[in-house]
Every structure is written in C-alpha cells, then in structure tokens.
Structure 1
Amino acid sequence: MEHVFQVQGMTCGHCERAVQQAISQVDAQAQTTIDRTTGQVVVHSDSPRAALASAITEEGYTVA
C-alpha cells in the first residue's frame, strides 16, 4: 500500500535519515522515497498510515 505524507521541518540530509529510520522502526521492509525540497514522503508499506505518521511526528516533524 502506498502512503503519501507531507512532512514539514525537514531541512537537511540528517532530517531525511531521521524520518527514514522512524519509518523503519514501524516497518523494516518499507520502501521509502523522500523529497526534502517538497516535503513529500512516499512509503510503500502494509503498516497502518497512523502508525507511520506517528513515528514521523515522534521524531519532531509535522505531518500535514
């Protein structure tokens, strides 16, 4: 299943890695594409959308 998130607050490569790691903690098999300039995060995962969004939020980013 594809989940598309708009994530605010990503400003650097470290931010991208933090979001990637947060998603991996929910689903280690998730395929993730992050575009920092647009704030778009696309996740291919069978995990619930709410769980993925919560993991990103817990890292300190805003999911719109």
Structure 2
Amino acid sequence: MKFDIQDMTCGGCARGVTRAIQDLDPGAQVEADTVARRIEVRTSADAEAVAAAIVRAGFTPVPA
C-alpha cells in the first residue's frame, strides 16, 4: 500500500512514520521517499490501521 504524506519533509519525519508503522506491525517493511513525500508499506495490517498509526505519529496520510 502507498500513502502520500505531504508533511513528511525530512529523514527524521520518515523515521517517525516508519517507527509508528513498525510499532503496529514489527515485521512491516517501509520505503520512504522524502522528495516525493510518499511511503510504500508492505504489512499484514490493513490500510485503515496503518493510516491511523501515521496520524498518531503526527502526520497526514492520503492513500496514493
């Protein structure tokens, strides 16, 4: 699944998003592109749960 996260502007932001997703699913694989402000997530969790974790981390995900 992919999300656009326009408020993910740096590597620190990307690490925060990744940490939030991996707190939900420790086996999740997250690829973050801070230039495109997009993440790709491979996880067994559903998209709503992943989006909620990103919101809890302080970011605004939009399905891509």
Which among 31, 34, 42 is matched to residue 33 of structure 1? 31
Partner of 2:42: 44
TM-score (norm 2): 0.90
Please give the alpha-carbon distance, in whole angstroms, between the structure 2 residues aligned to 1:58 and 1:8.
15
C-alpha contact 2:9 2:34 (8 A) present in aligned 1: yes
Query: Once superposed, what is the RMSD of the aligned Cα atoms?
Result: 0.8
More strand by share: 1
SS of the counterpart of 1:53? Answer: helix
Partner of 1:7: 5
SS of the counterpart of 2:30? Answer: strand
- How far residue 18 of structure 1 moved from its aligned partner, in angstroms, is 0.2
Please give the alpha-carbon distance, in whole angstroms, between the structure 2 residues aligned to 1:24 and 1:46.
11
Paired amino acid for 1:33: E
Number of residue equivalences: 62
TM-score (norm 1): 0.90
Gapped runs of 5+ residues in structure 2? Answer: none
Identity %: 35
Please give the alpha-carbon distance, in whole angstroms, between the structure 2 residues aligned to 1:63 and 1:45.
16
